A and B are shown apart, each in its own frame.
Chain A
Amino acid sequence: MDFDNFDQYSEIQKSLNALYSKITSDDLESPINNRILESLNKAGFVNIYENGNEINPLNILSLVFKQAGYHGLNLDLFSFFIDVPLIFQSTKSSNSSHLRDHLSLNKIIATALKEPYSHVEEGFYTFGIEIPNGYSITGLKHFIENYNESDSILISFQTHQGVKIALINKDLLIHEDQVITTGKSVTQITFKNLEIPFENIIETNDVLELLNEIDLTQKLMRSMFIEGVTKKMMELTSAYTAERKQFDKPIATFQAVSHRAASMFIDQECLSLVNQQALYALSMKTNNKENYVLTAKAWAADVSHRSSYSAQHLHGGIGVSKEYSLWKYCLLAKEHEIIHDSAGVCLNKIGKNITLNQ
């Protein structure tokens, strides 16, 4: 057993911290994806999937997201770094030019894999009926990130022959932006009898297994992002309570305050450990990876909720004021607590896995 991080961990972390520190984001609503992507690209963090990289890409990605969370950056690059590379890596035929264009930022691809209420049921509302030259699809996809910066889009849909993924030109789609908690936009697209030729279908090995892997990786990277966010909340809280005086002494000297701050620390330690375990399991593709990732996301969602409210409460009014930075961490925490499943949903899935497998 070895809890040490891989050798280059500190160096990568330092380099990301330096990079992110230059990208200030006081206003969560401003789109910063392109600025971040360009900086990450220059620093060599975009094309991490290239063969010959001695560090597992997931390890690097985990730092990219964790440190972004720590710096309170509202970035929408989960599908850029996770969905698109995983889809093209699993293709039967060579589609590497799409991936190459995507990772070199020439032609960015977004993904439309989510549907409303997918947290409570498996399956797709979006359905494709086979027609002579391809499929005619009808349905709705939502929570698409980075849509406006992308050139084309990968969508998943159900057919009588199983689940398919197709690459579509954006011009064919009807879209609508939806504003969410932090003020950023995600996109919803609707299709009615949209014809997709067979050549647009991405032939992958096992689509359901691929989608499951994407889902698990998304969950884990969002847990990593939350770990960064909640770590910063904890640091802000301990600094503030050590300095803020009431009754002529720092409020941290009141047991109720210090104990609540200590609970944040315990939460942070647990989250960090389950994240580490899930990262190991997912990168090593161990048998129990699904439950470990679900455990990590459940912890991340819980810690995100508890830390937000503890931090706000221990700060008092200043904790909710937009004149102080905590507010943006709280909104980021809430978003990622819910996206790709809340604690309740993850625990429900773990419960099913444990009881049904036994």
Chain B
Amino acid sequence: MEIELSKKELKLKCTINEYLKELLNVELRQELSDSRYFEGGGPEFRKALLQMGKDGWIGLSWPKSFGGKEFSPIEQYIFVEEIMRTGFPFPFLTTESIGPMIAKYGSSFAKDNIARRILTGELIFAIGYSEPNAGTDLASLITSAEKSSEGWLINGQKIWTSLANFADYVWLAARTDKEAKKHKGISMFIVPTNAPGFSCHPIHTLGDVRTNSTFYENVFVKNDFLVGEVNSGWSLITSQLNLERLALVNHGPIEELYNNLLIVAKGIKLINGMKLSEVPWIQDSFAKIYYKLEALKLICWKQVWSQGKNNFSMTDASVAKVYGSEFFIEAYRMMMEIFGEISLFKSNQELSILNGKLERMYRTASILTFGGGTNEVQKDIIAMAGLFLPRTS
């Protein structure tokens, strides 16, 4: 047993840190502080991503034959952790979950022309799963892909297609067999966002995060853009989601926020001479966040360690997702209580805490309890696969 990072892993952490410090120059930071670009997609963001690709920092765990470095899952986790700490909107769903799927199951064309270009930082994906009437019950999706002589014709509508406004492709689930059982008639496609018939409309959210409705009207894709076998898309979706769940609850960003808030609290002097961090109930709040954060870190570490042993567990992925998403909400609330009314100030104001970062993070937190598979379904998975309880009807 060794419940800590090895010297090699700590060194990697430092190396990544140093690299990111240089990468996040003034222009990029300025662009990311602009609400239009804080999720990425701006020119400086694109430039930085290409630079990362050139420097070999994308797809660290991918096979060397693809241009990856075959890093271990824990090393890959450290990379995502460090980059998320900086606030750079690294497209980890593209690089860590969709990319590996295309590299494994895509056509030769897709492997050579799409997967490789993910590693060079040229391409970003959005995910096209949910539909207005297919959310938690994803398998009832009705967006269709019909076979034509030279490829597939796609028709339908997707919702919550985040990043579609600047993504190059949509990783799209479509029904290819209307007669088969719900889960059996779905296939996965790579859909270019510049294809004729594709359109994207914004949905603005309370967290200032933009998501989209995407529409597909006779969108044609060639056979090479089908990923995996026809009608075998469901297993690709579930594999992708399992990989996504861990990335969603990476402990890095919240630990970074926690550490920075602790520094702020230590620097605030009250009228009676005490520091904010010396008030007993505030110390108690910091402790409550700390002990829960430690558990999240260990859940994540154990999971990537298991991945390294080829022992990836669906139950563990669901545990991480439920625990992490619910912890975030509680932690942000406690952090706001510590700073009181000042925590409500938005960014770019004199008294804002960390430039309004906490205020914004709490507003986006609830998305994770239903995004990436609602927590009730995750608990069903835990009950079935972790406790071997009878399946719910």
Contacts and interface: CB of A to CB of B under 8 A. Distances in A.
B384 interface: no
A327 B336 CA distance: 19
A237 interface: no
Most chain A beta carbons < 10 A, residue from B268, B340, B369: B340
B13 interface: no
Nearest to A125: B271
Contact of A321 (B136, B204, B333, B371): B204
B348 to A, nearest CB: 9
Contact of A117 (B268, B285, B367, B370): B268
B207 interface: yes
Interface residues of A, number: 52
A309 B137 CA distance: 21
A303 B306 CA distance: 39
Contacts of A348: 281
Contacts of B87: none
A156 interface: no
B346 A179 contact: yes
A183 B281 CA distance: 30
B153 to A, nearest CB: 27
Interface stretch (A49-57, A213-221, A288-296, A335-343): A335-343
Nearest to B159: A317
Interface in A126-183: 142-143, 176, 178-181, 183
A320 interface: yes
A322 B203 CA distance: 7
B289 to A, nearest CB: 12
A329 to B, nearest CB: 10
A298 B339 CA distance: 17
Contacts of B349: 178-179
A350 interface: no
Contact of B367 (A181, A183, A320): A320
A269 to B, nearest CB: 22
A324 to B, nearest CB: 10
B44 to A, nearest CB: 25
A100 interface: no
A345 B340 contact: yes
Contacts of A120: 270, 276, 279, 282, 340
B346 A317 contact: no
Contact of B203 (A257, A321, A342): A321
A46 to B, nearest CB: 27
B206 A331 contact: yes
B341 A317 contact: no
A92 interface: no
A130 to B, nearest CB: 20
Interface in A305-346: 305, 308-309, 312-313, 316-317, 319-323, 327-328, 330-331, 334-335, 338-339, 341-345
B108 interface: no
Interface in B306-363: 329, 333-334, 336-337, 340-346, 349-351, 359, 362-363
A94 B346 CA distance: 41
B205 interface: yes
A114 B367 contact: no
Given A317-B370, A321-B203, A334-B362, A180 B336 contact: no
Contacts of B133: 245
A355 interface: no
Contacts of A188: 350-351
Contacts of A309: 329, 366, 369
Contact of B342 (A117, A121, A335, A343): A117
B325 to A, nearest CB: 9
A317 B207 contact: no
Most chain B beta carbons < 10 A, residue from A118, A120, A305: A120
Interface in B190-232: 203-207, 211
A342 B337 CA distance: 6
A124 interface: yes
A343 B23 CA distance: 42
B211 A117 contact: no
Interface in B246-286: 268, 270-272, 274, 276, 279, 281-282, 285
B393 to A, nearest CB: 10
Given A181-B344, A342-B336, A345-B337, A317 B211 contact: yes
B160 interface: yes
A250 interface: no
B376 A256 contact: yes
A357 interface: no
A321 B210 CA distance: 9
Interface string A200-213: 00000000000000
B73 interface: no
Given A178-B345, A339-B341, A142 B351 contact: yes
B345 A323 contact: no
Interface string A225-261: 0000000000000000000011100010010110000
Contacts of A328: 206
Contacts of A335: 344
Contacts of A44: none
Interface string B367-382: 1011100111001000
Contacts of A123: 271-272
Given A123-B271, A178-B351, A313 B366 contact: yes
Given A181-B346, A319-B366, 8 more contacts: A179-B345, A188-B350, A256-B379, A308-B366, A323-B204, A338-B340, A338-B343, A338-B344
Interface of B: 130, 133, 135-137, 140, 159-160, 203-207, 211, 268, 270-272, 274, 276, 279, 281-282, 285, 329, 333-334, 336-337, 340-346, 349-351, 359, 362-363, 366-367, 369-371, 374-376, 379
19 contacts: A120-B279, A121-B270, A123-B271, A124-B271, A142-B351, A179-B346, A180-B346, A181-B344, A181-B346, A308-B366, A309-B366, A313-B369, A313-B374, A317-B371, A321-B203, A322-B203, A338-B337, A342-B340, A344-B285
